[in-house]
Structure 1
Amino acid sequence: MEDLDHPNSTTTTTTTTTTPLLPQRPPWHHNLLRPLRPKTAITGELGGAVGDLGTYIPIVLALTLINHLDLSTTLIFTSLYNITTGLLFNIPMPVQPMKSIAAVATAESSSHLTIPQISAAGICTAGVLLVLGATGLMSFFYKFIPLPVVRGVQLSQGLAFAFSAIKYIRYEQDFVSSKTNSSDPRSWFGLDGLVLALSALCFLILTTGSGDSVPQHSERGESTPENRSRRCLQRRLRTLSSIPGALLVFLFGLALCFLRDPSIIKDLRFGPSKIQLVKITWEDWKIGFLRAAIPQIPLSILNSVIAVCKLSADLFPDRELSATTVSVSVGAMNLVGCWFGAMPVCHGAGGLAGQYRFGGRSGLSVVFLGIGKLVLGLVFGNSFVRILSQFPIGILGVLLLFAGIELAMASRDMNTKEDSFVMLVCAAVSLTGSSAAMGFGCGIVLFLLLKLRRMECSSLGFWRSESKAPAADDENEV
């Protein structure tokens, strides 16, 4: 009894702990906010946020100036798309204009497409992708399309971006007429000269290198001259990679807009435009579908879904995208925004390559981009087009060049001569025919012919006489 009552007693007491019957689950917002956890430094995510603007700005500017696209509405809707896809996919998923629709809408012709016709084309394309995704047909196509053909489409798209980028850098551009005057080369000096563009190019090469991640080596080890030199090199590369080069170049271009035309400040009007429902007539549906949707649908299937999923598997093996999810995503975005006059958009492999190239490793980069677009759309509205019209085109060309090269380099995994042959023929036809669908069709036919050539002829019954040959030999031996 004394031992039990004594405070210093050595008697052990058993403590009981309660174990919950069910495992505790994380809060509902845990998975939703997972993309907001950066995979790399915040500066890298900020740099990746502007990785696809080399494609986005020229097309949006052309549609705004030529077809009178409501820039405020487009900025607001695409910002919501960016934020939503960044949270859902957890990769720097781009939101880019539908290029074929934009090309038809701004082409030199007697009658440009109107906003209702552009919206009709976007809705028709979105409807096809939504049906393909919801029925599982897109996943079926994704599984059975040969990889060399996909690589050929990626190579052609990447080189097409690079060619356009070189034109932006070398020659003056007129987005109002959507025409490049090759006889009017860009001047060397000035606020949009060759020297400025080449300086931006050199700066991005120094800060981002070839686009590879800097390996993390341990600082421990024997203090030899060789190890000290290696550690010094790694520290310098990490410091350079931490600089958001693309973001700094883009902000520098924005600052130059006000230097090139100081009257921009007087023309700015604050506040967004009124969002209105677009009235689409039967004639608009017919023109939009026949002229713009038909050439856009195969490009969206190949570059916005198939190529994006393949590229996501290359860049993010642990976060490979589903073809069904991406196809439904493109359809849902346009079935909402196009009814209000927003620009038809899709997910592009080039945009994903560009954002990855400049440091984007998670959904946080496109969330940053979406917040920036939302602020610009709500604060400046349609008057922001005055700023974009003065943006140095040479700098846009530099950003687009890196995106195109990164996308083209996805084809470097073709190790056999047969796969390389299919890929290069597909890319060549796509580039010279100005149609990814044409190159895709030629690539499929070529792939099947090569497989047919190597197929065992016995399975077709061509060499049934071979089974009788051993019997004849036996008779001769007897």
Structure 2
Amino acid sequence: MSYSFRSDAADGLEFSTSELTGALGDSVTVLPLLVALAATTSVSLPHVLVGFGVFQIVWGLYYGMPLSVEPMKALVGLAIVGSLSYPELAAAGLLAGAVLLTVGQFGLVGRLQRVVGEPVVRGIQFAVALLLLEAAVGLVADAPVVAVGGFAVVGAVVVAGYRQTSVLVVLGIGAGAAVATVGVPTLQVPELAVFPAGTPALSGAAVEGTVAQLGMTIGNAAIATALLCGDLYDRDVSADALSKSMGVTCLVAVPFGGIPMCHGSGGLAGKYAFGARTGGANVLLGLGYLALALVAAGAMLSAFPMALLGVLLVVVAFELGRAAFAPVSDRRSLALVVGVGVLGLAINVGVAFAVGAAAFWLLERVD
């Protein structure tokens, strides 16, 4: 049975059970990453959730469709594994926002994508997946029995046919264990402040991470998402328009305690697969994030079982790695994806991105 309400105030805005289930399709990788980030850095989870809530609603209403709002996974992944501090993450987010707004304004997104090359972008995705997996191993090793239980839950949910919601189930179990330990958190409105978790600090690592992230963002969050808007929703949304909206998101959210955010083809496809067809899904998900922000207390977060967090990171790493290899169809591209990924794990993603882009450029000229 489905209940729906269609609003006359916004074109194409609908609220229904399918919009609600579709909204969850964009949260299955967002929430585990946010919990992991808050557990490993000085970021304020309530402020981060407010940022996601506000911009889910803003872009859902602006575009009139269930456009995704996701963390910039390369930058967030580097922060989770300790390669970037929160001040460096904030600086990288502001830098990425300024670049995305500029290149989108001047219509440069398509040109940049041709220079970088899709295999290099996919390789950065693979590198971040490997880094997340490395961090997960350390967390799982601290409490292997709890981790085994977590993996068993994931396996059972997948066998039952709900693979996409497995991370939410584990997240719910971890939250339940935290509540059992510290009690139900009290409602608390996040404080309105500028850079509540630390002043941005621009560094070499922040610049390297930003360059690598921009490769992923331009390829996946701008160009691939623009194509999906046409394929899935028959909407003509340009990659440059998406670049500008991502730039605005970062430049507005980061100063108020948010993190670098982007659109993404994976989140858009996830929403579509679970039934979302209008911007109503964004409004529902945004309200959910805002509600979570009121109870995202530090004591509850500190009580979250870290071994289960490791399980979540393994699942997220698998999904990110699977997405990196899904479109690869030839040996040369496969070699680039693997090479960039392994180099990113062994050295850093900035070096991997530069080497991969140079290799792609040379291989294109050899042909």
Q: TM-score range by the shorter chain?
A: 0.7 to 0.9
State the one-letter code of the partner of 1:88: Y
Are 1:52 and 1:400, in contact at CA under 8 Å, matched by a contact in 2? no
Percent of pairs with identical residues: 25
Hey, what does 1:469 align to over in structure 2?
none
Residues 436 and 367 of structure 1: is their aligned pair in 2 closer, same or farther, counting only changes over 3 Å?
A: farther
Task: Name the structure 1 match of 2:158.
Answer: 201
How many positions carry a matched residue from both structures? Answer: 353
Are positions 1:443 and 2:348 aligned together? Answer: no
Identify unmatched segments of 5+ residues in structure 2: 1-6, 345-351
Counterpart Cα distance in 2 of 1:202 and 1:70: 35
- State whether residues 101 and 293 of structure 1, in contact with CA within 8 Å, keep that contact through their aligned partners in structure 2: yes
Q: Which runs of 5+ in 1 are unaligned?
A: 1-28, 168-172, 206-244, 415-419, 451-478
Q: Could you say what secondary structure the match of 2:79 adopts?
A: helix
In the other structure, the counterpart of 2:85 is: 113
Residues 350 and 407 of structure 1 are in contact (CA less than 8 Å); yes or no, is this contact kept in structure 2?
no
Q: Give the TM-score normalised by structure 1.
A: 0.61
Aligned to 1:307: 224
1:88 aligns with 2:62: yes
Q: Does 1:433 align with 2:350?
A: no
Query: 1:182 and 1:77 mapped to 2: Cα distance?
Result: 28
User: How far 1:155 sits from its partner (Å)?
Assistant: 5.2
- The structure having more radius of gyration, on CA atoms, is 1
Partner residue, 1:367: 283
Secondary structure class of the residue paired with 2:202: helix
What corresponds to 2:189 in structure 1? Answer: 272
Q: Quote the Cα distance in structure 2 between the aligned partners of 1:380 and 1:370.
A: 15
Q: Give how far 1:134 is off.
A: 0.9
TM-score, length-normalised on structure 2? 0.76
What is the 5 A alignment of 1:19-30?
Answer: none
Shift of the 345–266 alpha-carbon distance from structure 1 to 2, 3 Å rule, reads: same
Following superposition, the deviation at residue 77 of structure 1 comes to 1.2
Query: Cα RMSD over matched residues?
Result: 4.0
1:97 and 2:71 matched:
yes
Is the deviation greater in 81-90 or in 351-360? 351-360
Residues 77, 128 of structure 2: 8 Å contact kept: no
3-state DSSP class of the match of 2:294?
helix
1:372 and 1:183 mapped to 2: Cα distance?
29
* Distance (whole Å) between structure 1 residues aligned to residue 20 and residue 212 of structure 2: 34
**Measured at CA, do residues 436 and 286 of structure 1 come closer, stay the same or move farther in structure 2, by a change above 3 Å?**
closer
* SS of alignment partner, residue 275 of structure 1: coil
Distance 1:360 1:159 in 2: 28
Question: 1:422, 1:339 → 2: CA distance?
Answer: 42
Provide closer, same or farther for how the CA distance between residues 304 and 361 of structure 1 changes in structure 2, counting only shifts above 3 A.
Answer: same
2:222/2:239 contact within 8 Å kept:
yes
Q: What SS class does the counterpart of residue 105 from structure 1 fall into?
A: helix
- 1:60 deviation in Å? 1.9
The 2-side partners of 1:43 and 1:164 are apart by: 37
Give the letter for the 2:10 counterpart.
L
Cα gap change, 1:336/1:100 in structure 2, threshold over 3 Å: closer, same or farther? same
Alpha-carbon distance between aligned partners in 2 of 1:125 and 1:421, rounded to the nearest angstrom: 32
The letter of the residue matching 1:50 is L
CA distance in 2, matches of 1:291, 1:91: 33
2:335 matches 1:378: no
1:334 to 234, 239, 250: 250
1:133 equivalent to 2:104? Answer yes
